[in-house]
Each structure stands twice: as C-alpha cells, then as structure tokens.
A and B are shown apart, each in its own frame.
Chain A
Amino acid sequence: MGEPGFRPDGTWVGADVPRREDPRLLAGRGRFVDDITLPRMLHAAFVRSTEAHARVTAVDLSEVREVPGVVAAFDAADLGLADITALLDRPAEEFTPTSMPVLARDKVRYVGEPLAVVVATDPYAAEDGVEAAVVEYDPLDPVVTEAAALAAAGTPVHDEAPGNVLVDVSLFATEGIDEVFAAASASAGDVVVTVEANTGRQNALPLETRGVVADWDDRDEQLLVRTCTQVPHQVRTVLARCAGLDEKQVRVTVPDMGGGFGQKCVVGREEIAAAAAARRLRRPVKWIEDRREALTASFLAREQHYTARAAFSADGRILALDTDVVCDMGAYSCYPFTAGIEPLMASAEMPGVYRVPAYRVRGRAVTTNKAPTAPYRGVSRPQYVMVMERLMERAARELGLDAVEVRRRNVITEFPYRGINNVTYDPGSYLESLDLCEQVLRDEGWLSRSGRDRDGRMIGIGFSCFSERTGYGSGAFAQRKMQVVPGFDISQITMDLDGTVTVTTGTLSHGQSHETTFAQIVADRLGIGYDKVKIVQGDTDRITYGWGSFASRSVTIGGSAAAAASVKLGDQLRSIAAHLAGVDIDSTRLDGRGGVRAGDHTYPFAELADVAYLRAHLLPKDVGPGLTATASFDVGGDGTFSNATHGCVVALDPGTGGVEILRYVCVEDCGVAIHPRVVEGQARGGIAQGIAGALFEQVTYDELGQPLAPSFMEYKVPTAAEIPDVRIEHLETPCAFTADGAKGAGEGGTIGAPAAVLNAVNDALRHTGVELDATPIPRAAIFAALSLEEAS
C-alpha cells in the first residue's frame, strides 16, 4: 500500500480509506483455518447421533480403528473431558443449570450430536471411519416443538429440568397494568390489539464454517489451537477447564475469518474434542465443519413464539404492553451466554423506541431435541421488533390512523430517556429517521403506488422503527445476571523505533474491518498515517484477556480502549519531548504529522523512540524506558443506542404467492461512522440476513426430530437474485461517551428487516382481511389469502 499521507483536517475517522484487509483478501492471499496445513497433520470427523432423543447403550469404535487411514478414534470415556457449563446468577425458579458434554455419553439430545471423534490421515478416511462406528440407542420420545416441551409429557430433555424449562423470568410487571388493559377494553375509542407471532429457526450461516487446527507444542508445553472463533479467550478458558490444563498451556489464535454472526461467539464442542485428540496423539489435528454438519449440527437461533397485546388510546398512543415470549433453545445452554440469551434480551429491550408507560413480560427458554442455539446477529431483537411493529400496524388499522403517524406519536423524542424497562436511552434520531425514511419513499413515488401494478401484482409498503443497544458494558450484562460478564476491553499500544505503532485489541474482526477502523482511531489520536498502525487481534498469547466481538461492541468498547491507550502513549511522547526541550509538558502538543511540538522544537516520533529505547539515559526520571501504554474501557450505565427506520416495498403475485422486494430504504444512525462504507456494508449484509429470515430460511425437523434441511436445496439462503439494492441514508447522533462518538453498527440491518418485510406483505394483503404473523412468510398463505379475494 502506498503512503496515504495526511488528511487535510488531520483526521482519519469518517474517511472511506482503502481497507487494510483488502489487498490480501481480494487477491486470494487471506489465510483461513482451512488454509493451514501442518506436517504430520491428521483430519478429524465426528460420529454423530442419528437419534433426536435416546439413551446410548453402547459406542463401539473397534471397527472404526480397522478402517484404512484411521489413526485413532475416541469416545467420551477415552478423552475424559469435563463438561461445559454456563451459568446465570439467578435463583432456581428462574434458571436451571445444565451441562453440555464435549462428547455425548449415556444420552443424546439431538440428531447430529457428537459421540466420538475419528482421526485419520485424510478427511475421506475419517468419514469412512465414522461410518464404521456402531452406536446402540434406546430411543426416547423426542421433544421437537416448543409446545411439546411445555407440555412436558414424556422423558425430559434434561433430568434437571423436568418441565423442559431452563429459564423463566418475569423481569417487569408494572403495577396496575391489568386495570389499564381493562379500561382500554371498556373505552369506546381505545383499543387492545394482540399479536401471536412465530419466527422460524435459523442458521446464522457464516460462509466459512467452523473449524480448528490444533497441535501440542512440546517446547512451549502448550496446546496451539487455531480456530475461527469470535471469542478466543473464552475458547481458551473452556478448553483449559475441560482438558485440565492451565490457561497458560493453551494458546488460541484466529486467522482470517469468513464471518461468525454469533454462531462463533460461543464455545463449540468439536474444537475442544479435536484439540484434545491432537494433544493425545502428539500430532496436529484439523477439523473443518462441512456444510451438512453446519446446517444440521451447528448452533442455531431465532425460533421464538410471542403472545403479545398492547392497549392504545383513541389517538394512537400506546398505554400498555404485555408479552409472553417462549424461546426454543434446543438441546443445550451455550457458553458463556446460557439459554437465557434470547428471553433475557427480549424481556429487557422489547419496549424499544417507544414510550411505553406500563409493561409486563414473561420470558422463557425451553429445551428441545434440536441442535442447540447461540446468539445470532440481533439476538431476539429482530423478533420483538417485528412483534412491536405488528402491534403498531394493527393498532393503526383498528384506529383508522396512518401507521407511520402512530409510530410518530409514540417514539421517544427527548433524551436521555428512562424507559419502563429501567434502561436509560442516550440520544438518538428515532423521529428523524422515521420522517426521513417516509420522505425518501414519498419522493421516489412509492407512497402513492398502492394497489395493483401492471402485472396484476399487489403492492405493499411496510416500515420498521427500532433502536439497538450497542456497547453493553459490564454493568449492563451484570444486570442480566450473567455469571460471566463480557463488558470491558483492554488495549496495549507499543511504538517501535521508527515511530510506527502496534496496538492490541481484545475484540476480533471476523469480517468487520478492524485492521482499518481501529487504525483510523489510533492514527487520529497520535497524528500519524493509518498505515503506520498495526492491529493485533485474535491471539491469546499476545493479547490481554479480551471478550472478542459480538453485540456490536468492537468499536464502542474496543475502539475506545485503543483510543485511550493511544492518548496515554501520546502523553509519554510529550513527556520525553518536554524533557529534551526543557519545557513544561503543557507547552507540548502532538503536531498531527508524526511528531511532538515542544517549545520551539519539533521532535519526530522516531527521534523520541530512539531516546526511549537506545539512549534511555536521556529520559526524564519519571519516564521508564520503552514506549508502551495500556488502557481499558468499559461502558458505564446502559450502553449506547443506535437506531434506524427501514422502509420496504413488496409486490405479491396472486398467481403464485411469490414475493418480490421492489425497494428497500434504510435510514440509519450509528453515531459517528468511523468508516461510512464499512457501516453501509454492515447494513446491507444485515438487511440481507433479515430478509432471509423474513422470507426464505428455516431449519425444519420432522416429528421424530430428524433435520429436514441438510443442504442448500432445503435451507433456502437467498441469493443476489432475491436481495434488492438497498438505499442507505445516514443520520448522525454522536455518542457522548465512546471514542469519536461512535455507536455499534453490526446488527441493525438484521433487526429491522423482518418487521419491514412482514409489514409490507401485510399491507399488500390489507384488502383481503388476512394478516400474517409468522416468518419465514409462507407463500402458500399469501396465495390462499389472495385466492380468497379473487374468488369473492
């Protein structure tokens, strides 16, 4: 990369500079886990359960070990690893702890659950070995649906939870809420509207599946684990505990990653089993999840069932909100978040951008015989936003008001706002984004285009207005009573002899461009080119304990830590320059061109580094040798809220029930965008995933718990042909307490899209009287609704 020089106003933040990652990625020179090949490396494959729910009476691997190419095969007893347990600090009536074994023993709880690991000289032989395993089952009645889980009729999924409920929390219940609903029902003008909504089970589906290459290093007495995780330190912690190693005996490194979306922010079982096998065999072991495993046996998300009602005054103001949400978390609680991740998020955040004066919520997590779940981009917010936005639309319909106007009357407009959910919202542009989104669609002529188009298709327009808490600090997670509180981040910055700097971050880019955006943040603090900043991430031996990247935390928390460390380093440089110039430190400043101005002198950083490292006798007494600074950052209070309004125009084909998205507009506000094109990329990708959930993707099972979508023929990931071009407009309400005023931008697209699409489809169905509240939206239901109308 050439010398980018200095920007005229001296700032990198806000500029669409070339991405530091691009030269290698675009030229195919990135290095992903599967690109790593080590001498004597072996390949792992897993014997997986073919039953959804069964007692395991025997695992016989003797034939496996005879298969040509197979080097070893281990079951749970062979590896003797401790279980993975994730806990909440909640009483027994609210939370039932369960454990996930690394390899199943005694009992299996979903089809695809790993029972044994086979290690062979190539992946083909490893799969041959898997086929030679003999597992004997004593089948139990599978618990396949949330309804079956709650009915608790047969053998429970976990003995510890006889009713199949792992989490049952009622976080809020405003006193007198029943009276509010009763009064609204009795009043002539007020209305009470209800929504029963189901959202389908989804796979976050990173393009790069999960994977690991592990080997034991005798010289370092260390297990080296190269894996594509969003949370390297948590993998280290769990692996060390499972294998009975010291943390210092495990080093987790992360190469380039092809996405994670939350599926990789929990600790999986296969990487631990593969690493344990590598340690046992003293040979490198690689496991790359194949697409069938990814679709059937990886971490899933999103399957929720809402029963919600809201009371509205005659003039469209929300009076009360009452919700019951049941989240189908599958077979196990994930580490570190637990099965509480979805119900707690929904319960804590559902009122969203609206002034809700009375709120009651019950959130439950049930366990079923399906693959377990992990957080997925947005975590519950795509679903509860969808439910809130349906309530808004339904109230508008019943009250005979415009649905955008109803939102306008309810959105929070004065900040900071203390919500009914005990959350303080920092300033945002809820009303402004709503107005602008509507204006854009009006200017483009869409608002006048309802009814049928020339092909006889029904046109509908839908909106969604929402905010997204980003930068959850330790306090915010502690409020959820997580026992592991992933709040802070630590950065260390070191300047070398030539004045270039290396900065560590505990956050971890799995596609978000941290090498670019963090360099911009640091470069601004020190007044150097962003190409002079090297970002180190994803290596537990080189980085102080960090929490990785999820929940839109990287720039807000990690970026702020990097900024704080940079400021400290700048202060050190100024101290040295002041001493050399014989002036007070207050008479020095960074000159914005890679040096310190001290009195009449300018000291280039390289000159100060020369003193710091090579001529330490010249240093002031209170400054030690070397140039290193460390800083941490945590978000106090309730974090910072990004917000957006999405607008969607659809055309429904009465002859087929087919849906085409004609237009999609996103007006987003993530505070100050460090790199606007990166933000737009996040929005576009997120919207595509939201549309996927609204219209296409669903993980389905038959009544015995057998997966029905093991390939991309059945699991319908939308392609470029299904995803519309998206118009993105930016608003900017800076955050007052993060570096540069940035807010998180990672999840908003995914959050807003299902609601906007579903509302648009319902708008197009308005004349039929049919309302749909399930995703993915069944084309058969659209067809049936429009056929009724044609017939009448």
Chain B
Amino acid sequence: MTDFPWLSVLIALPLVGAVAVALLPRGRDALAKQTAFAVSVVVAVLAVVMATGFDTGGARFQFTETHWWIKQFGVHWALGVDGVALVLVLLSVILVPLVILASWTDADRSGGVDVPPKRSVKTYFALILALEAAMVGVFAATDVFLFYVFFEAMLIPVYFIIGSYGGAQRSYAAVKFLLYSLFGGLLMLVSVIWLYPLSARPASKGGLGEGTFLFTELNTMHVDPTTAKWLFLGFFVAFAIKAPMVPVHTWLPDAAQQSPTGALVLIVGVLDKVGTYGMLRFCLELFPGAAKWATPVVLALAVVSVLYGAILAIGQVDLKRLVAYTSVSHFGFIVLGIFAMTTAGQSGAALYMVNHGFATGALFLLVGFMIVRRKSARISDFGGLQKKAPVLAGLFLVAGLAGLSLPGLSPFVSEFMVLSGTFTRYRVPAIIATAGVVLAAIYILWMYQRTMNGPAGEGTEGILDLSAREKWAVAPIIAVIVVMGFYPQPVLNVINPSVHHTLARLDRPDPRPDVTGNVAENGARP
C-alpha cells in the first residue's frame, strides 16, 4: 500500500479526465459536466484516503516517488508531501468538485451575464480538470525543476478560462494575468537554472558534487551569501507576484473581476497559495541567510499589503474586486507569519493558507450566485436581499464573518497565531497589522449591509434563494470553516512537523519573552 504512487495518480487522473472530457462529442454538455464532476470527486476521495495514511511523526516527506526524468539536466520526477503540502493538496482537491458543482451553468452563459455568446462548455470543465492536475503537481513536487514546470503549466488553463469565459474585459485581464505570472516565472527560471551549476560543484566547495534539482538535497547545500541573495530575489519576486503582494498585486483585481466565479475560487483559493507556499518552502529553506537579510523589507511590504489591500477593499464598488482586495490583505498576513520565522507564525501562516482558501472560496461562490441573479456585480445594484433570499444571506454572512476572522470560525485561529507569532519577534509590524483586523470588519460588514439589508434595491424583485445544487456547493465549505474554527488541532498536528524543519534550517529558535515582557533573541537582540 505504501508503494502505491498516490501522488502520480492524483496528477494523472484529472489529466486523463480532462482529455476525456475534451474528446466528448459536441452537444453532450451534460455528460461533460457529469464526467468532470465524477472525476474530481474520485480524486478528492483518493486524496482523503491517502491523507489518512500520513504519519505525523514519520519522515518529513511521505508518499515519495523519485524517478529520473531528464538525466542530462539532473531532473527527477520527484513527488512527496510534507504536512504543509498535504493540507494544500487536500484544499485543492476538495475545492475542485465544489467549484464544478457551483459553476454548473457558468460556461453556458459565459461572455458576460447579459449577452451569452455560446462557448464550448466541455472545454471549460476540461480546463478546470487540467488545472487541478497542475495544482496537485505544484504542491507535490519535491524537485525544483518539476515545481517550476507545474508552476508555469498552471498558467495556461487559467489563461484560457479567463480569456474565453470571462466578462467584457476578459482578454485584457487574461493577458495581464499571463504576462505578470510569466515575467515572475522567468525571473525564477534564472534562479532555477543557476541552482544547477551550484549543486554541480564538488562537495569541497559547498556543492553536492552532482547537478541536481532535488529539494531534499538542495536544502543542505551551502550557497555563498551574495549569490544566495540574487537567487532568493529571483524566487521571491515570482512568488510575490503570485501571492500577490503590494506592489505587484494589480493583476488580481482585474483577473477577479473578469474571471468566471468558479475558476476565480481556484485562482484566489489555490493558485495564489503557490506564492506563499513557495516562499515558505523554497525561499526560506534554500536560502536561509538571504531570507533573513530580506526580512525587514518583506515584513514592511507584508504590512503595507495588509493595510493597503483592506483600505482599497473598503472603497470598491464591484463585489468581485472587493473580495479580491480582501485577499491582498489576507496574503499580507500570511507573508507576515512566514517571515516572522517563529513556530506560531509559520504554523499560523500555513493554516491561514488553508482557511483562506475555504473562507474566500465560499465568499466568492456566494458573490457569484448573487451576480448571476442580479446580472450585475455593482454593490449599489443590490439591497435588501436578506428578505428575498434568506439562505443566501445567512451563508454570505457566515462566509463574510470568516473573512473578518470572527472567533469560532477557522480564519480566526490562524490570524491570531500569525499575529501572536509575529509579535514575539517583531512587535511594531504585528501591532500595525492588527489594524487590518479592524479594517476587515469595516469592509465585510459594510458590504453585507449595503447588499443584504435596507430597502430592496431596484431590479432585485425576481431574485430567488439558493437552489439545492448551489447549497450543496457551499454547505461543505461552511461546515469545514466552522469545524476548523473550533477544532483546528488535527490540521496543526500535520503542519507543525514541517514547520519545525523549516525553522531548523533557518536556525532560528523561538524567542522566549522574559518576565518583563522584553523579547530575548538568542541573547543577541534586546
């Protein structure tokens, strides 16, 4: 059982499904949807079964597979998951069937909510499945080259989804998304290529004696500080664009506004996590010295992201753009937690990635349902929806409260961990970032108030409550949010060992506050 290539299967299955769906005859749209849904459910079930076999006290990377892929470049088909990667894989594969369910009719009316030019429905679902394969691959890759391949391969389906099935400005948004990501990716490529000659150096000069891209070998390599800083920057810029952090976040609102809702859940919920996951995994572990060197700037950018994203979110008039800016703010928290380099901060950040995926996913899905009903995304076009659609309003409130990290819902736990973990080492950033929590209350509650309360807005007369399909798409996510809000321990148990590995590589033990409250930093820093 342990030899079963779980991860390869989890990558191959959606890919095969994608091809199968794409090859279905024209006009069999219903069959295409059913096939896609069935495949994604099977993948999700398989992943959960695999996850039950994960041993929290065992080796760091589990379910590993290592085969040569391109020997000439030292590249392996190397897969394996540690705790952080495992929970992110689970997040991806659980979201996909729900997204398919939620966007059952999205492709039918793509190209703007008003005039629907007919687009190929089966292609939409094939692209979602192809994206799923790349998402699992990117988190499961333990070879830096393979990671890069999945990192870039992910862009293509998303590009076509936004460009073909998005709103009026879809091609602008799609090209902007692709060019931002590609530019970051190519900078990372320079760093990836550079790793090869570094690892090929003889062991006496700090290399590994043989060119390789295996993460588990590269993270023991010594890189001289100047080179490490350049390499770190190559990776970091790519991940910052992906995450997205201020000032390279501007693609996200456009992509969010134009993208079909279902795909948007995957873009913000999962794709962007690749950025923060990459920082935690590659930036910190491959170049620990450079990461410490960059920490002040990164923390400053993270705090700016938290506040700037939140302030811009308050000012938005478009529902999807609003939620996109809240994500910029949340990603600021995640980066803060990662670069605080404390156990609580990094565990919190990893947990935050999962929680944010579910919470924002639910919020986006519900916003999408609202937009479909009103045929508009402008906040001012809504009002008084609570009376017409109580279930929609109730779920929207829960998802919104999760977004502002209300205690009892899962994001609270992670946000608290991030802030307290940051506070033990970097007080000022933690204190400033806390203001983001207050701003979150403003943007969420004000959005709720304008759309759900008050007198019924014009044009909202015929709005119906959620259908059974829509309820089934959102209910599991809400359930996860509530359960993990009260009992996050199982997930933390999975995450913690890998965070300890990262911190050990960074050589940064947690600071211990003394009686007076001053932070003792290994005796070196007051």
Asked if A and B bind, the verdict is no
Give B contacts to A, CB under 8 Å: none
